[in-house]
Structure formats: structure tokens, C-alpha cells
Amino acid sequence: MAAVDTTRPAPLGAITTYRAINGMTRAFAAIGAWNDARITRRALGKLSDRELDDIGLCRGDVDLMGR
């Protein structure tokens, strides 16, 4: 019975390309999360103290959102 070695090294530059694309993906995800938090803080900042109390938040909680 013969044994066949099927492992091959990655092509030149494949790992670097993967890391670059992965880094860009993470950067875009971080920017998206930051923007979502910014929009949420802006919307909650427009609410009155009474409205914030209705949803269980206070003005100080809005400042801490997304940080």
C-alpha cells in the first residue's frame, strides 16, 4: 500500500493577501459598529428625560452607549 502526501505549501503571497483582506474586513466592521453607536446616541439624545425614563435609561446612559 502506498502513502500519498497531499499537503502543499500555500502559494506565494496567499497568507499576506488573506491577512490584508481580513484586516480590511475588521476595519470596515469596526467603522460600521462605531457608526451604528453614533446614530443610536444621536437618536437617544433627542429624546426627553421622560421618554428616556420610559425605556429605562437616563441621560448619563446615553453618553456611555457604544463606548
pLDDT (tens digit per residue) in 6-33:
787 778 889 999 999 999 999 999 999 9
Average pLDDT over residues 34-63: 92
Non-local CB neighbours of 40 within 8 Å, separated by 6+ positions:
65, 66
Mean of all residue pLDDT scores within the chain: 89
In this prediction, residue 67 carries a pLDDT of 66
Task: Retrieve residue 9's grid coordinates.
Answer: 505549501
Going 21 to 24 to 28 to 34, the CA torsion angle's sign is: positive
Question: Residue 48: pLDDT above 70?
Answer: yes
Prediction pTM value: 0.69
